[in-house]
Amino acid sequence: MSEIIIELNYDVANKFLDGYYSPIVESLKKVLSPEEYVNSLEDLPIPFNNFTISIPTTVFLTEEQVYEDIMRNTRERKGAELNSKEIKLITKLAKDYVNNDLRVNVDIEEDVAKVKINHVQQSKPIFIFNFGIIEPKIEVEYNDFATDERAFAGKLIHLILSTLEYINKPKEEVVITEKREVKKSKKGKKNKRNRGKTYIYKKVYKILDVKPNEEKRKYTRKTESWTVRGHWRKYKSGKKVWINGYSKGKGRGTQNKKEYRITRIDK
């Protein structure tokens, strides 16, 4: 029994959302604006069928926004102004809320990906939507989180696909660890061998930083070939070997001989 968890810090999540890592953007346009594209999305990166992405809540909400939202809802429910004790409690709730991560659970079945967003503070999902892999479209099932639900779903698709593509390419910034957790089995289903314990293996991908794909620098050679002078090559063992001069480049062997003229010897 295994689980894939991808952990993003605040800076990494924002870099993905801001398009800092750009290769996925063109494919993403197919999801957000399917009417402009005819080709299917089979080329999108789907390395796992089931996985969870952990994102800091502050990527989407600030403490002030959560505080104002709780205050407004509490006032409407109470029908009166709040006292100092209630305001103090709401302040703590808002702080605790943004200090916990959002858990984005992605389950891909056939050609559709179901995305559920959970929060540590709530037992039920706070946002659920589906998006098609072959026929791209966004269908929001449940929303208790965003005011503009389709725009928020689009941002999450951007984040999810950028994250998957990034970990598909081996990079030094991705740290992979495997954790083993013990989960007790339900009553009446105990196994004598494991004494009612189920071992859950979690593979955790931690993306510590993101670097953009840099194009190779273009330059023009002034010559097709050149000569390398003879030199001593030193090895770690202390051994020295003389390397004879040789030619390099596409047109090696055809270049004119290079002359060295000694006109002065410095003391």
- In this predicted model, what pLDDT tens digit does every residue of 58-100 receive, in sequence order? 999 899 999 998 888 888 888 888 888 989 999 999 999 899 8
Residue 227 structural domain? 220-267
Q: HSE-up of 115 (CA within 13 Å, CB side)? A: 28
Strand order in the sheet with 112-119: 138-143, 127-132, 112-119, 101-109, 50-56, 2-8, 197-207, 174-184
The 10s digit of each residue's pLDDT in 196-230 is: 565 556 788 888 888 765 554 455 555 666 677 77
Same domain, 75 and 142: yes
User: Does residue 114 surpass a pLDDT of 90?
Assistant: yes
Same domain, 132 and 259: no
Same domain, 157 and 73: yes
Residues 267, 243 contacting (CB under 8 angstroms): no
* 214: in domain: no
Provide the whole-model pTM. 0.64
